Amino acid sequence: MWDFEFTLEVMPDLLEGLWITVQATVMGYLIALALGLAIAMVRRVPYAGGVVHAVMEFIRTTPLLVQLVFVFLVAPSTVSGMTIGVVVLGVHYSAYTAEVYRSGIEGVAKGQWEAARALSLPARRTWGAIVLPQAIRKVIPALGNYLIAMFKDTPLLFAIGVAELLTQAQRLGAANFRVVEMYTLVGFLFLIVSIPSAILIRRLERRYAAV
């Protein structure tokens, strides 16, 4: 039934795919963290905030896969699939992180804003020294959840030909006629990464919930 020799043989290739998956996740996540924060702040600006909100709403309610394939087909062929994948993943998830930041910012007590104004702090210090440190601390666990969510969305890069885990598995499985082993291994590798990270996030949650 299960071919162990074959399993060992393909492991290096699969791990290479997993490494690309992790890289795509981390880079996309950094974009989502930065862009999400910028969006959450712009959303407080009249008019411009409304337009940005509508655009993000559209991005959030349409499938990531379609967005990926669409951008891949429209972009010039000199841009690599990996770059497109990372950027689209990051922008898609910034629609989610923006909402998380927003809830954190709205959770900051009104008195804090008023105190900053009373001290006539410039906007930069109001955000940088008063509001954001309080807001971000509270939303760290929620942001962490999106890191795991993104990791589980990276197999979609398969659709635009990035050599991530699932792509490798499909190639090797088809070449050796061993699809059961390949897809089961991919499932296991996903669990090996996502279960420990879920435990880590739960720890973070407990640590920051106490504050």
Binding-site ranges for another protein (CB under 8 A): 57-58, 60-67, 69-70, 73-74, 96, 99-100, 103, 141-142, 145-146, 148-150, 152-156, 158-159, 166, 170, 173, 179-180, 182-184, 186-187, 190-191, 194-195, 198, 205
For the CB of residue 8, give the shortest distance to another protein in the complex, in Å. 19
Distance (Å, rounded) from C-alpha 191 to C-alpha 210? 29
For the CB of residue 18, give the shortest distance to another protein in the complex, in Å. 12
Distance (Å, rounded) from C-alpha 22 to C-alpha 63? 21
For the CB of residue 153, give the shortest distance to another protein in the complex, in Å. 5
Q: Which CB atom, from 130 or from 159, has the smaller least distance to another protein?
A: 159
For 56, the token pair is 């993000």
Exposure string of 118-131, with b = 16+ CB inside 10 Å and e = fewer, is: eeeeeeeebbeebb
Work out the number of other CB atoms within 10 angstroms of the CB of residue 206: 10
Q: Which CB atom, from 135 or from 142, has the smaller least distance to another protein?
A: 142
Distance (Å, rounded) from C-alpha 7 to C-alpha 97? 38
Q: Which CB atom, from 100 or from 105, has the smaller least distance to another protein?
A: 100
Q: Which CB atom, from 83 or from 145, has the smaller least distance to another protein?
A: 145
For the CB of residue 118, give the shortest distance to another protein in the complex, in Å. 31
Task: From 188, 200, 197, select the one nearest 18 (Cα to Cα).
Answer: 188
